[in-house]
Chains A and B, each alone.
Chain A
């Protein structure tokens, strides 16, 4: 280790932020380098000097006063109406879009398509069709394929003739084909996982994402794992939640957010198969204190006797390590 690297590492070392191997290297270096040893002593001394000005705890009266002020302010706030909750939901949704610009682009494209389709149907229902002109086009109309016309933007009749020029836009359904590691495909799958109108689409996309996660692919943090946790917590369809749960299995030990989501399912999910599966999935980490707390709660308070018994069984299987 060189001195400049060592001296940059000293602050991290003093604050316990240096990885173990870095600590070892630094300690070895400092043992044989007097300037760096002095530097380390200086920072240690600085920490001790700063300890002379500790953080002042807020006084009990200040805390009480702040709580009263906050309570009053909260009382004056209107209770969240359905509209406000919807607004919050929409704002949250847009916040998610900001975090995932690809999804925003895909949604914008979807919106344009829907708008174009609506325009087409509006035009069809409200347009007045002059008989002469209509008859001259009727044979070509099917050739243009009516459902693919989104809207008519302009009609120009050529004077002194029976010819007419129609400008129209077409809706072109698109298909994307690619492997699961294609970012565009992943974005579309994530989009489909949030499709509240079509549960089959959600089921397919969550199923695919979960399979990939279970195989240990494309799920190292980031949006896919988050999408599965959101599906597990919020999806109305139990089969979708179950798929999401399966996809999260490999991460139950390493990711505390995943573990929390599964613990919530164990405690609150209305579907018994999901709760059973959550219980099974937590067995490898049943020594974790948060898991143990939930198991104790379920084993003592759950309304389902089978669930109480199963949780108790898992609890008894935990070795007394402490």
Chain B
């Protein structure tokens, strides 16, 4: 179990942007091999968990919880909220694992739960806008998210570091202008590289709707961030 600590996203859920250079072939094959291994192993763990095995469910949690926490953290901007969503998502999965019918991957299923919880959270928060470049940690203390990103070159140059922080704050502010659904679709596509078909499945909508939502989101961001380019 220890060797399976990090989430391996199913290959069919991921897409590669045209603008980025293609990964070396060997990486792609390694990824495919790891993905297939994860799929088969997941099925076994789910069946065990359905029979009531807590160990099997824990193994599934360890497989995906980092990805879940990352998504929740980036969408909510709060460690406390991310922890709450992480816990609620897996408790929900635990309660309903018996009704999992292998019609989609476990990854899609748990992400569907998480994105819906995040959407609810974003909708609730829409009325009380916060500066999401400022994160609230579990102890309730505020700090700038951009300071978490290590950049040794920037650290060697204070002016560049300041510029980077300002850019980050502008991007966060632009992301805040999106509707909860636009934000979620954009997040899953841009930062998590999921396919629009998978995003549609997660949000209980069609690929076409997800495509239109992404289009609207990027247009808004384009307007908001015009001066950055």
Interface residues of chain A, those whose CB is within 8 Å of chain B, are: 8, 11-18, 23, 42-47, 49-50, 52-59, 62-63, 65-67, 69-71, 73-74, 77, 79-80, 85, 88-89, 91-92, 95-96, 226, 229-230, 233, 256-257, 260-261, 263-264, 288-290, 293-294, 322
Contacts and interface: CB of A to CB of B under 8 A. Distances in A.
Contacts of B189: 15
A89 B50 CA distance: 11
Interface string B27-65: 001001100110110010001000010100110011001
B178 interface: no
B91 A77 contact: yes
A80 B91 CA distance: 13
Interface string B166-182: 01100110000000000
B229 interface: yes
A77 B36 CA distance: 32
A263 B101 contact: no
A56 B17 contact: no
Nearest first, the 7 A-B pairs at minimum CB distance are A92-B99, A290-B36, A88-B98, A53-B171, A289-B36, A45-B229, A58-B69
A184 B171 CA distance: 54
A50 B74 contact: no
A65 B87 CA distance: 11
B94 interface: yes
Contacts of A43: 218, 222
A236 B71 CA distance: 40
Contacts of A46: 218, 221-222, 225, 229
Contact of A52 (B19, B164, B196): B164
B17 A14 contact: yes
B36 A288 contact: yes
A70 B211 contact: no
Interface residues of B, number: 67
Contacts of B191: 54-55
Contacts of B57: 74
16 contacts: A11-B214, A15-B17, A53-B172, A55-B70, A55-B74, A56-B148, A56-B149, A57-B70, A58-B66, A62-B79, A62-B82, A65-B138, A70-B65, A96-B101, A256-B39, A293-B40
A62 B81 CA distance: 12
B218 A80 contact: no
A11 B70 contact: no
B44 to A, nearest CB: 8
Chain B CB within 10 A, most for which of A92, A264, A290: A290
Given A15-B189, A58-B73, A289-B33, 18 more contacts: A14-B19, A46-B225, A47-B190, A49-B229, A54-B149, A55-B74, A58-B70, A62-B79, A66-B87, A74-B57, A74-B94, A226-B101, A256-B12, A257-B102, A260-B39, A260-B43, A261-B102, A264-B43
